[in-house]
């Protein structure tokens, strides 16, 4: 059992390095502080693991063709493309804002979408990251079932999904720290912020399109 958990944990690590996952993390982590970035990456990983668990349970009891399973990749690609289009729209319409202020002798930078600063934006980001993780989980079902078929006869239980989720969360958290470094060192003015979001939007379109045509 311990070996099975390690294999699934390792699969989670490798799975998390997919360009669609890292692109999604980047899109949601730009402009966030450390605690918000960690919460967003953790929620994305939890949503991803939960979605894979539910889909895998359904597929264990149903005979579904490869053509139907391929729609999971289409869903993931569509989500990434929509995110890219949304970011580019926000940049083009000047709806990405930045404000600096001093608090406890430290300079703080707030980055938000929209014409006015709404404090519920952070809650929306966390909810969106969890939802995104759930949606994109559909794209990894085939790989998880193959891995589970090797280590445990294709049977899915919550312990193994937890091991997978921890592997995903480790990579997402590490990448979130990379994004935090970018936030702290390169997003000091509105021009750089908008350029960063525009770059993330273009990369999202490229990654999503590549998944569709691949």
121 band by pLDDT with thresholds 50, 70 and 90: low
Burial class (CB in 10 A: 0-12, 13-18, 19+), 20: buried
Q: Mean per-residue pLDDT for 80-95? A: 91
Q: Mean per-residue pLDDT for 103-127? A: 63
The per-residue pLDDT for 63 is 65
* 37-41, 61-65, 81-85, 89-93: segment of lowest average pLDDT: 61-65
CB 28 within 8 A of CB 136: no
Sign of torsion, CA 146 148 153 157? negative
Question: What's this model's pTM, rounded to 2 decimal places?
Answer: 0.77
CB 168 within 8 A of CB 11: no
């Amino acid at each position: 059992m311990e070996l099975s958990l390690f294999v699934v944990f390792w699969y989670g690590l490798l799975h998390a390095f997919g360009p669609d996952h890292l692109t999604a993390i980047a899109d949601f982590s730009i402009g966030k502080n450390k605690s918000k970035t960690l919460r967003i990456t953790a929620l994305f990983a939890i949503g991803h693991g939960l979605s894979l668990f539910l889909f895998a349970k359904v597929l264990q009891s149903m005979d579904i063709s490869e053509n139907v399973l391929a729609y999971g990749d289409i869903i993931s690609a569509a989500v990434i493309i929509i995110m890219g289009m949304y970011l580019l729209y926000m940049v083009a319409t000047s709806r990405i804002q930045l404000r600096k202020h001093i608090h406890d002798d430290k300079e703080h930078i707030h980055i938000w979408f929209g014409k006015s600063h709404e404090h519920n934006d952070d809650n929306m980001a966390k909810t969106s990251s969890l939802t995104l993780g759930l949606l994109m989980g559909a794209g990894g079902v085939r790989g998880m079932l193959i891995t589970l078929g090797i280590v445990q006869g294709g049977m899915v239980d919550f312990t193994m999904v937890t091991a997978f989720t921890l592997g995903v969360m480790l990579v997402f958290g590490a990448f979130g720290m990379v994004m935090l470094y970018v936030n702290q060192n390169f997003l000091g003015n509105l021009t750089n912020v908008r350029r960063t979001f525009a770059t993330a939007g273009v990369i999202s379109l490229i990654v999503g399109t590549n998944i569709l045509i691949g």
